């Protein structure tokens, strides 16, 4: 294991966040526990500070972090990256559409058709020069992490709903079984009392 007192890098924090997300997805952590441990990692200065977040989990990624100078990055699926790229296109598409509408309206109102040159200029600036936040053209680790957490929370909520539905169904089935058993006991008791009453009546008749 590398020196536990080495300070954490941003890439290493992302790795630790991803490990906690995996534990959440596996059902080892509740959502509130996950939030608490994420805050613990965010506040951690060294690997030793972050190790406590994994004390009761089977894998301790703090013991596997790379040596100084080596990057240890969280791994994201192609689907996650593609989804974030798609979302990054929305602001650029919106700016292009609004600029086009404004340029066209301005050209019609003023008669200055040169204003239409704004449209290709905006397209070149956004899609070729890639002016704007980096997340518009390439998903950042932070945005990927946030999207993964959102999906994990949604999956956790669905799992909890399924668990509650299964528990409710199990409880309803148990109530039905108890009701059926009670009805059977009542029927047995009625039959027994009827037999006893019939037997006493026959004995009185014989006497």
Q: What is the pLDDT of residue 75?
A: 59
Q: What is the pLDDT of residue 98?
A: 92
Residues composing the chain: 207
Q: What is the pLDDT of residue 102?
A: 92
pLDDT tens, per residue, the chain with 207 residues: 457 788 888 778 888 888 888 888 788 888 788 888 888 888 888 888 888 999 898 888 887 776 444 444 555 666 766 777 777 788 888 899 999 999 999 989 998 888 899 999 988 888 888 887 776 776 666 677 777 777 777 777 787 888 888 888 988 888 899 989 888 888 888 877 777 777 666 666 666
CA separation for the pair 96, 106 (Å, rounded): 15
What's the start-to-end Cα distance of the chain, in Å?
A: 97
Q: What is the pLDDT of residue 206?
A: 66
Tell me the whole-structure pTM to 2 decimals: 0.40
Q: What is the pLDDT of residue 72?
A: 45
The sign of the CA dihedral 42, 43, 46, 47 is negative
């Amino acid at each position: 294991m590398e020196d536990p007192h080495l300070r954490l890098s941003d890439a290493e924090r992302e790795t630790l966040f991803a490990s906690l997300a995996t534990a959440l997805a596996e059902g080892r952590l509740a959502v509130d526990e996950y939030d608490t441990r994420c805050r613990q990692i965010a506040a951690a200065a060294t690997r030793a500070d972050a190790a406590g977040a994994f004390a009761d989990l089977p894998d301790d990624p703090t013991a596997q972090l790379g040596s100084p100078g080596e990057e240890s990055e969280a791994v994201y699926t192609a689907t996650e990256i593609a989804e974030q790229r798609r979302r990054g296109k929305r602001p650029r598409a919106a700016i292009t559409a609004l600029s086009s509408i404004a340029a066209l309206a301005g050209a019609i109102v003023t008669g200055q058709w040169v204003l239409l040159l704004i449209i290709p200029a905006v397209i070149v600036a956004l899609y070729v020069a890639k002016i704007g936040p980096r997340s518009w053209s390439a998903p950042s680790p932070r945005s990927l992490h946030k999207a993964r957490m959102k999906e994990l929370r949604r999956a956790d909520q669905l799992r909890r709903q399924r668990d509650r539905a299964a528990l409710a169904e199990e409880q309803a089935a148990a109530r039905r079984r108890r009701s059926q058993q009670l009805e059977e006991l009542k029927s047995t008791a009625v039959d027994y009392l009827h037999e006893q009453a019939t037997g006493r009546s026959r004995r009185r008749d014989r006497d």
